[in-house]
Every structure is written in C-alpha cells, then in structure tokens.
Amino acid sequence: MRGKADPLTEVIGGAAGASAGFETDRRQDRRRAPETAAKILDAAEALFSLRGFHGVSLRDIASEAGVQVALTHYHFGSKDALFRAVIDRRAQEHVACLSDALREALAVKGSRTERRKAIIRSFILPIVDKAMRGGTGWKHYIRLMSVVANMPQQEEYAAPFGQHFDALVLAYISALKDLHPDMEEGNVYWCFFFYQAMITHILSESGMLDRQSGGVFRSDDLDAMVDRMVDFVSAGFMGLGAGPDTPRDGSPLPLDRLRLQS
C-alpha cells in the first residue's frame, strides 16, 4: 500500500522546483539583458574597426564578447543589422559634437584665412579629441568611421554612414563655399574631399610615419597633427583658387544658410 506523501518533502521539493525554474528564468534574463547587447556591440565595434565589414564574422564577434553565437542573432538578427547598430549607437552624439564645433567656427571673425582655418579645425578637432581622450569605445568608433569611409559607398551595409554624416559634411562644404565665392564650386568639393581622405588615412594609425621618420614621429600622436593638417589644408584652398584675405573685421557666416543639426 502506498503511504502518504510527507508534507515537508512536498514543500522542499516544490521549493527546489521553483528555485530551478528561477535559475532558468535568470539565465534567460541574462541572455536578454541590455548589457549582453552592449557587450556584443562593443566587441563588434572593436573587430569591425580593425578588420572591416567583410573581415569579421558573427562567430568572431560572439567569441570576442564571450557569448554564444545565437545571442548575436537574438539581439541583432544579421551581421548587416549589427553593423548598422554599431554605427547608429554613437552617431547622434558624434554629429551633434561636430555641429556644435562648426557653429562656433562660423562665429569667428577675422581674415578669410583665419575663418577658413577655424572651419577646417572644427572638423578634425572633435574627431581627434574623441579618439585620444574619449575612451576605448570612442577610439574604436572613430577608427571604424575611417574604415567605412574607405569602403565602396554603394554597398548596402555602408548606407548608415552616409545617412548619418552626409548632411553634416555638406554643411561644412556649404560654409566653405560661402567663404570662397571666387572659387570654382567643384574645387571646394575637391578640397574637402582631399581633407577627408587625409583624415581617414591618419586615423588608421598605420605606423607608416613611425617607420619613415625612424621613430622620430608617431602615427598615433594625433594631437601633433592637428595644427599641421589645418595649415596644410588651408594652403590647399589657396592652391585651388581661393582669393586673398578679406579685411580682418569680416562678418561671421550666416548660420541660417547651413542646415545644421539643432
């Protein structure tokens, strides 16, 4: 004859079952937790910045993040979507910082050379500041932006880059066109394109300068490059048709003509 179940045994057994279910729920919660997605984003940002889009797999990213590959699919779906998420994550802050820098540059008075240099400097200085002093995440993001800028821009995975930053770049070009009505419009575009090309190469910190200078100068010393680059690019405008300086009491450029992010 089957005896009665011990009530205490039932309570303990029920508690154990509840505890096991709680542990399962906790594991599932950890998988779905925002910090898991952040770990995946951080790992993807670091690897994409070093190897580009095609040089990284979801398995590589999962391994770097210390999570299962399935979690990269759970949080982001595909590599393309994860790449977009990496670009999106810091884009708004980055654009806002550059927009603020351009606004300040447009308020500068002085000769045309001084105002041109202010605009040129306002583009590179926030980038270098984030790369040098923004922490590891920003270091990776800035390098990634230089990598994406060198990718074929017609590729679908590169689309978020243009969606976030093209309007800002056009605002810089518009400011430089307003400052140089005597220049052929195409030459202003060329000047700024050359400037962007310089920046994307420099941000790779390739070590080429270190080797070619015999170690006297370093590719990762971005702060040392800012003033030199600003002077060099400013002189390039003169070489492509920028006229002589205007009087030192020149008026600031009109903000309302530049579609800056507010």
CATH code, 174: 1.10.357.10
Q: Is residue 262 part of a domain?
A: no
Whether 116 and 58 map to the same domain: the answer is no
Ordered mean pLDDT values, 10 residues apiece, the chain (262 residues): 47 44 47 83 97 96 96 95 97 97 96 96 97 96 94 91 96 97 96 96 92 95 95 96 70 53 46
In terms of Cα–Cα distance, which of 50, 78, 46, 86 is closest to 65? 46
Whether 120 and 224 map to the same domain: the answer is yes
HSE of 231 in the Cβ direction (CA atoms, 13 Å)?
5
Alpha-carbon span 253 to 118, nearest angstrom = 12
Q: Is residue 199 part of a domain?
A: yes
Alpha-carbon span 117 to 109, nearest angstrom = 11
Give how far the C-alpha of residue 91 lies from the chain's centroid of Cα atoms, to the nearest Å: 6
Q: Is residue 1 part of a domain?
A: no
Whether 54 and 132 map to the same domain: the answer is no
Alpha-carbon span 116 to 254, nearest angstrom = 14
Check which CATH number belongs to the domain holding 13 and give it: 1.10.10.60
Put residue 77 in one of left, alpha, beta given phi > 0 → left and psi -120 to 50 → alpha. left
In terms of Cα–Cα distance, which of 110, 147, 137, 142 is closest to 126? 142
> Residue 18 has what pLDDT?
42
Count of the separate structural domains present in the chain:
2
Whether 127 and 212 map to the same domain: the answer is yes
> Residue 34 has what pLDDT?
75
pTM: 0.81
> Residue 1 has what pLDDT?
46
The alpha-helical segments, DSSP class H, found in the chain are: 7-32, 34-51, 58-65, 69-76, 79-106, 112-133, 136-149, 159-179, 185-202, 208-212, 222-239
Range of the domain at 243: 90-257
In terms of Cα–Cα distance, which of 191, 201, 236 is closest to 222? 201
Alpha-carbon span 110 to 143, nearest angstrom = 34
Q: How many CB atoms lie within 10 A of CB 229?
A: 19
> Residue 9 has what pLDDT?
45
In terms of Cα–Cα distance, which of 218, 3, 203, 234 is closest to 115? 234
> Residue 33 has what pLDDT?
75
Q: How many CB atoms lie within 10 A of CB 252?
A: 13
> Residue 251 has what pLDDT?
55
> Residue 10 has what pLDDT?
44
> Residue 245 has what pLDDT?
83
Q: Is residue 224 part of a domain?
A: yes
